[in-house]
Amino acid sequence: MKIRIALSLLLAGTAILTLGGLFKLLHWPTANIQLMIGALVQVVALFVLAVKIATTDGLPGMLNR
């Protein structure tokens, strides 16, 4: 998986998590489902980024020291 896709997943997870929090605050249905899905998407994206960083010399474009 490319870094761009993982970062897009991370941003999508953040958006879903934020909407879930808003739904929870307003006592609307499906808030718990949105919070769970948003958290899971973020965990997957962070895991993919961690594996990608561990298997390469760092992120492309970073200064390697």
For residue range 51-65, what is the model confidence (pLDDT) as tens digits?
988 888 766 665 454
Q: Are 13 and 7 in contact (CB under 8 A)?
A: no
Chain centroid to CA 4: 12
- The dihedrals phi and psi of 31, each to the nearest 5 degrees, come to -65, -45
Domain ranges (residues) in the chain? 3-55
Distance CA 12, CA 1 (A): 16
Q: Does this model's pTM top 0.85?
A: no
How far is it, in rounded angstroms, from Cα 32 to Cα 24?
7
Q: Which residues of the chain have pLDDT under 50?
A: 63, 65
Pairwise CA distance, residues 9 & 3, whole Å: 10
